[in-house]
């Protein structure tokens, strides 16, 4: 189960990174970016669920708290991307990449903590 968890978390990193940076490069939010955000969210949720099942201790620690915050932000980010695309307001479509970058950077915090913790075992 640990291998599956690591694979899903890294798939989340890959999908989310592709979505955020391709959106930034294109200069506007597109449907394909929303799909990458959604895949990133799903992969992260699955990987986090596997990790939670494997955890021997409480998830009330820095990694657990930042991970939960990151999942909530990813969910909000994906839902907000749906809203922005549905409303079709050009200014929001062109400026969405700023929000995406912030959420991606915040998501990297628990990812980096988990990566560092993997070397401590």
Please classify residue 14 by burial: count the beta carbons closer than 10 Å to its beta carbon, then call 0-12 exposed, 13-18 middle and 19+ buried: middle
Residue with tokens 């597109």: 30
pLDDT value for 59: 64
How many CB atoms within 10 Å of residue 108? 16
Residue with tokens 């915040």: 106
Residue with tokens 């391709």: 22
pLDDT value for 114: 87
Per-residue pLDDT of the chain (121 residues; tens, 9 = 90+): 889 999 999 999 999 999 999 999 999 999 999 999 999 999 999 999 998 888 766 667 888 889 999 999 999 999 999 999 999 999 999 999 999 999 999 999 999 998 888 888 6
94 alpha carbon, distance to own chain's centre: 20
End-to-end CA distance of the chain: 17
pLDDT value for 45: 96
Q: What is the dihedral of CA 108, 113, 114, 117, to 10 degrees?
A: 160
Distance CA 16, CA 107 (A): 9
Q: What angle do CA 109, 114, 118 make, to 5 degrees?
A: 150
* pTM of the shown model: 0.89
pLDDT value for 35: 98
């Amino acid at each position: 189960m640990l291998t599956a968890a690591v694979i899903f978390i890294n798939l989340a990193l890959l999908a989310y990174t592709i979505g955020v940076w391709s959106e930034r490069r294109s200069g506007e939010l597109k449907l394909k970016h929303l799909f990458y955000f959604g895949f990133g969210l799903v992969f992260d949720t699955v990987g986090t669920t596997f990790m939670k099942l494997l955890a021997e201790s409480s998830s009330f620690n820095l990694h657990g708290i930042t991970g939960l915050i990151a999942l909530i932000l990813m969910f909000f980010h994906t839902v907000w991307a749906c809203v922005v695309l549905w409303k079709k307001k050009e200014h929001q479509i062109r400026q969405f990449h700023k929000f995406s970058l912030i959420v991606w950077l915040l998501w990297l915090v628990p990812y980096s903590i988990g990566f560092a913790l993997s070397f401590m075992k």
